[in-house]
A and B are shown apart, each in its own frame.
Chain A
Amino acid sequence: MLRWIRQQLGFDPPHQSDTRTVYIANRFPQHGHYIPQRFADNRIISSKYTIWNFIPKNLFEQFRRIANFYFLIIFLVQLMIDTPTSPVTSGLPLFFVITVTAIKQGYEDWLRHKADNEVNGAPVFVVRSGSLVQTRSKNIRVGDIVRVAKDETFPADLVLLSSDRAEGTCHITTASLDGETNLKTHYAVPETAVSQSVSRLESLQAVVECQQPEPDLYRFVGRITVTQYGEEIVRPLGPENLLLRGARLKNTKEIFGVAVYTGMESKMALNYKCKSQKRSAVEKSMNTFLIIYLVILLFEAVLSTILKYAWQAENKWDEPFYNKKTETERNSSKILRFISDFLAFLVLYNFIIPISLYVTVEMQKFLGSFFIGLDLDLYHEESDQRAQVNTSDLNEELGQVEYVFTDKTGTLTENEMQFRECSINGMKYQEINSKLVPEGMTEDVPDASSFSRLSREEELFLKAVSLCHTVQISYDQTDGVSDPFSHANGFTSQMEYYASSPDEKALVEATKRMGVAFTGINGETMEITTFGKSEKYKLLHVLEFDANRRRMSVILQTPSGEKVLFTKGAESSVLPYTKSGEIEKTRVHVDEFALKGLRTLVVAYRLFSADEYKEVERRIYEARTALQQREERLSEAFNFIEKDLQLLGATGVEDKLQEKVQETIEALRLAGIKVWVLTGDKHETAVSVSLSCGHFHRTMNILELVQQKSDHECAEQLRRLARRIKEDHVIQHGLVVDGASLSLALREHEKLFMEVCKNCSAVLCCRMAPLQKAKVVRLLKTSPEKPITLAVGDGANDVSMIQEAHVGIGIMGKEGRQAVRNSDYAIARFKFLSKLLLVHGHFYYIRIATLVQYFFYKNVCFITPQFLYQFFCLFSQQTLYDSVYLTLYNICFTSLPILVYSLFEQLVHPHILQSKPALYRDISKNSLLSFKTFLYWTFLGFCHAFVFFFGCYILMGEDTSLMGNGQMFGNWTFGTLVFTVMVITVTLKLALETHFWTWMNHFVTWGSIAFYFIFSLFYGGIIWPFLHTQDMYFVFVQLLSSGSAWFAIIIIVITCLFPDIIKKVFYRHVQPTSTQKSQNIEGYEGVACMDSVCCFPGGRGVCGFLERLKRANRSWSDSDPFSSNDRSVLTLSPVEVSHC
């Protein structure tokens, strides 16, 4: 008892053994030897905080950020020593930043809580005390018997006890776990399978013993002990008995299962990994810049401290008669004074580090990412899916992509297999209007005669195709599930095929259309309907598909009692084993199909004699029951069986290309992005798809690195390829690599391989394993240039690649949500990629890059005058600006315009960006955040600061009164003048950078300046009761009452901006970037509103010119430059390269 209490209170670690014992329905044994175990409840927790720990935990998280920590230190220094500024000046902005971030994170966590609550509160049915009780998902305990109905997901990991089927099986799909969409059959142990009702379950006495939770989805070891009639029956349990949380029940009316792993201990939750934090290139440059500024700050502080002591070496400056020191000051230790002076300068200049940079960037990313989801152009109507942003941290990275790695099936293609052609007995056929028509014949063959004209070979071929598969059927109407054959007549509307391979599904659907329909599988019987006539085949064995054999077979007993084997598989793995049939013709046909981009399969059969079958039976049985080396023996047995085949024919299935794939790839290429296609398909198919989707051009020289067997050979081939590229650098090259050669190339010759790849404008990797895909991405990512990579994929096999790449994009396809969930962005179609990168990526990059640069600029402007002022006040740390101005500069006066800019700026019209992909090159390689640009902005900041300061200095330094009444200004007026000039200049500088003035930009830009004036008037207009000094009282009003001050403000602001304008104009005209050129185009299009000019007779010439220009532009933008493999478009790209 004591121990139990201690456990409950968490003193003792919960009982840890290798296994857990689950008493079904929590009917614990009566005898005393039972030790209660503690299991997690069925709550899923993805949220980070609770109400109680939010504040401490969030604060801790936030102060782990270097910038926040820095400001905390500054704040503490201000509290501790006598510093020139009050702690409020850094405390308030810090508080503001922390609060905003906390609100954002709190909101996100609240969303997670909501999602969790939805999951945890979902209604479930549990058997409790003899009846079915509805409760919430979170209340399921280990040991509860749960009822799940058709199409529901399992609320916990359950061991299947019984289903509504007599044999205790059920079908599930695990699409949301591993992306596999096929139906899987799970079993109950026979002893429990009979307990199909609540009352029978009530009398069930059973105990499940199983291993402790572990994340492997495919491993489960346990046993169930059922007590029946006083006798204990022990049965082993394996993964086929376990129903995983997140999987969905299909095709079965209801099941009962006992919960064994709940909540965070379920396999799904254990597989839920925290996504690795991806950091964008912008963030990395930002951190570099911060460090540079930190160095500048330290330098300024050290310099000031040293100069202070140099200056004060002379007593008359150190302690003039009017400014005597106190005794304590005089007596304090020199070192201590030096340190405290240094800290004071640090505090004085600390605003050079832009405190609100991070929070603004975060807000920009958070708010800005909504535009992706809201974009109509990224909305796919057919599937009603909009783009989805999972990580807003990477928005700007979309504008920096240099390599795109794309999966083929489901990404470039629809993953919607369509049967196209087949070859039967050396004759090519096509499917036309659901009829099998020999090639060359037109479809106006009289319909009525069509079945009778099916030859024996044709019929056998169709039967083979419709029988040799592992397709499952799901019926939409649940009533008659237990007896699928009852639907034999009306199958067409209710039947739906589920297959692990979309090819199989396409084939079965095709044969159904052509009259040989697979109508059901029940236990060991397969039924097909041949032109309305039902035939039942007994399924004897399934020789499953595996990647080494690359074929699968079924052994059936025909209605007439013959034993027959049907095999289908890749032509390279079936044709060698055929001994009769039109082998050569078929081989030719298969190659033709492959060239058309069809996925090919070869179909063959073998009739067994009774003796042969006995042998087959024996071998399979032996292999299947072998305890050691089972797999080897199985494949040996299979190889023995799948030989001496008679060739029936081959099928060609087309995977339809998605819309506009070609245009998208072409656009990406024009944007300077290299596109690599990584696919598991065979070489020929991959190449032909590559050609048809425009990844390879007909004009391209295609290099091959395939079927390399040895290291040496591979290196040789690579060198040969490199030479060929060097010799012929005018033409574009495309490279084809297969998985095996790739692994060879990567093992030893990485450099050489990279060299070849970089010179190829298109690379196609075929026969790739999922991990290999990720490896290729990593190879490119870590190459010396460190290019930004993007991976697109739709299936579970692309997840590793999506996670590896800098930006991972999931396609919301048919292969489950796995890729989407692990991606940073998810889109419905491949074609959306071009807008996502070329428009959104471009915008986000420009926005954030300018935001970052501007932040540094405005803080240099802010603090440099303060530094310069020290030269005129004996380095006494006198602040130039009032504390309130110091505090509010970053959070009020200059914060909104840049935020609005960074949300709405559009340098170029989106249509132009999309129609001129080359503009993407203008921002490649992080060009707006290059060191040069950074220096330019910093330099500009310093220049402006010098102009503000010395402008005001000269104005006031002439010692004359600036007022008509001859009165003099003081130091606060001087600081306020500098500050006023600065706020206006800094705001207008951003205005100069803004190209897209929406009403919001106008509002915040002019509003900020107006706010500054109004605030200053208000702040200086009142004697503030809680302020110690009234330094600023009426300072601002006095300043504004001086005409000279107004003139000075105007001239200083103009002087600051004047060189910048000149620079911009000169660059625009002398050395325009292509972005700027396209802005001009827009400008001329904007001229449309000036049509009225044409009314003037004198304006005709001008108008004619404008008209021509407009027309030229319009025709240029209307004509689709990618409509064909137009040479002019192709030749354009090298020109572009040389240009940029």
Chain B
Amino acid sequence: METKGSMANRPDNTAFTQQRLPAWQPILSAGIVIPGFTFIGLAFIGIGVALFVTSQNIKVLERDYTGNSDDSSCGPCIDPAKIGCKCEVNFNFSQLFEGPVFFYYALNNYYQNYRSYGVSLDPNQLVGDTKYFLSPDSSCSPYKNNSNAVPIVPCGSIANSMFNDSFTLYQIVNGQKILVPFDRKGIAWWTDYNIKYSNPAFVNGSFAKAFAGTTQPINWPKPVYELDPNDQANNGFLNQDFLVWMRRAALPNFRKLYGRITGGDFANGLPAGNYTLEINYNYPVKSFGGTKSVVFTNVSWMGGKNQFLGIAYLVIGSLCVVMAVVMLIVYAKYKFPDDDTA
């Protein structure tokens, strides 16, 4: 740089200082947008058709079993006073319900996204830190201690309100009930099961002793260490139903995965025929006007049946094409407005 005395103040002549950096200067004109829109529109229509067809191929069977109407066998069970009520839901398939079939329970009008509900848990308990078993986080109240001031594990509203209906599915073949087994493994997120939650270590060879001095959530019939006494891998905080419940739903109508039907004769799906679903009706929803239902569905790579994406792609795709045509007309009419450079 030759900064001679008299030119000492001369600014550097670089692209940066002179604001002359090489730059791409795109202009949104019809010339670019029309082909662009046509291309995007056609692509979207294509994607939309594919998504729509995929979604259409997914079968869903949803049955409400709240028992609001008398014709349902669950009608009597709606009374919260009835404990241990059982009812059943019957349905039939005229053709094979291709597998793997996923079985969900669904709750409506249930606000798992309520803020004070959402924070009502002690994450330290849930990683098995026994220090926090005896003094749960204050955010758990009013489910921090029971009426005898014994600390609750797992404390808080979420755990306390865990869904506790259970389902058994039978196929009726010639009047005989054949059990359709649910695969209850892997219904929770892998990371939740393997990393985020963990059980406390055994004390003196006993899992239950790790929870000494604590009590079960008020609404629970049994303590957390007896959620699945048969399978220690599904017991305690690592119980898959528990994990599924602890992942709060975003919206007031939600489904939660209960199990998959993958076993034995039903690996290919549920064959045509009559089925009955036996329900242990425990969970009260009447008080807040909620409903419960069960859902059988199969899934594609994109998840469950979801018309929205296909339709959205089709609509936006067609709009793109339509707008491209409209713009072409406008473009032709106002041909080259750039000609008059006044």
Contact = CB atoms under 8 A, between A and B. Distances in A.
A1078 B120 CA distance: 61
A68 interface: no
B308 A954 contact: yes
B341 A968 contact: no
Interface string B113-156: 11111101001000000000000000001110000000000000
A958 B255 CA distance: 9
A876 interface: yes
Contacts of B84: none
B25 A966 contact: no
A283 to B, nearest CB: 24
Given A321-B284, A1048-B309, A1081-B338, A960 B250 contact: no
Most buried by A among B10, B186, B250, B260: B250
Interface stretch (B65-73, B174-182, B271-279, B323-331): B323-331
Interface string A75-115: 00000000010000000000000000000000000000000
Contact of B123 (A957, A974, A1030, A1066): A1030
Contacts of B29: 1065, 1068-1069, 1080, 1083
Interface in A1061-1096: 1061-1062, 1064-1066, 1068-1070, 1072, 1074, 1077-1084, 1086
A906 B20 CA distance: 10
B23 A967 contact: no
B212 interface: no
A878 to B, nearest CB: 4
A998 interface: yes
A1051 B313 contact: yes
Given A322-B117, A324-B157, A971-B112, A1080 B27 contact: yes
B269 interface: no
Interface stretch (A274-282, A500-508, A931-939, A989-997): A989-997
A962 B297 CA distance: 13
Interface in A1008-1059: 1023, 1028-1030, 1033-1034, 1038, 1042-1044, 1047-1048, 1051, 1054-1055, 1058
Interface string B151-167: 00000010011000000
A69 interface: no
Interface residues of A, number: 105
A962 B305 CA distance: 9
A627 interface: no
Interface string A308-327: 00000000110011111111
B202 to A, nearest CB: 23
B210 interface: no
B12 interface: yes
B251 interface: yes
Interface string B48-64: 00010000000000000
Most buried by A among B6, B26, B30, B143: B26
A960 B9 contact: no
Contacts of A1135: 342
Interface residues of B, number: 98
A445 B279 CA distance: 128
B25 A321 contact: no
Given A1033-B195, A1069-B331, A1080-B29, A1047 B337 contact: no
B22 A974 contact: no
B106 interface: yes
B284 A964 contact: no
Most buried by A among B51, B244, B247: B247
B291 to A, nearest CB: 12
Given A374-B12, A958-B307, A970 B117 contact: no
Given A962-B303, A995-B25, A971 B249 contact: yes
B287 interface: yes
Interface string B237-255: 0000000100111111111
Contacts of B289: 316
B94 interface: no
A963 B190 CA distance: 13
A433 interface: no
A595 B304 CA distance: 90
B26 A995 contact: yes
B320 interface: yes
List the 9 shortest-distance A-B pairs measured between CB atoms, nearest first: A960-B304, A322-B161, A974-B250, A1080-B338, A971-B250, A374-B17, A876-B115, A320-B288, A970-B247
29 contacts: A323-B116, A371-B17, A373-B11, A376-B13, A376-B18, A379-B10, A386-B10, A872-B113, A873-B252, A876-B114, A961-B255, A966-B257, A968-B247, A970-B247, A971-B249, A996-B23, A998-B22, A1001-B23, A1023-B196, A1030-B196, A1042-B303, A1047-B51, A1051-B309, A1051-B312, A1054-B40, A1065-B327, A1070-B337, A1074-B342, A1086-B25
Interface of B: 6-13, 17-19, 21-30, 33, 40, 44, 47, 51, 102, 104, 106, 110-118, 120, 123, 141-143, 157, 160-161, 186-189, 191, 195-196, 244, 247-257, 260, 284, 287-289, 295, 297, 299-309, 312-313, 316, 319-320, 323, 327, 330-331, 334, 337-338, 340-342
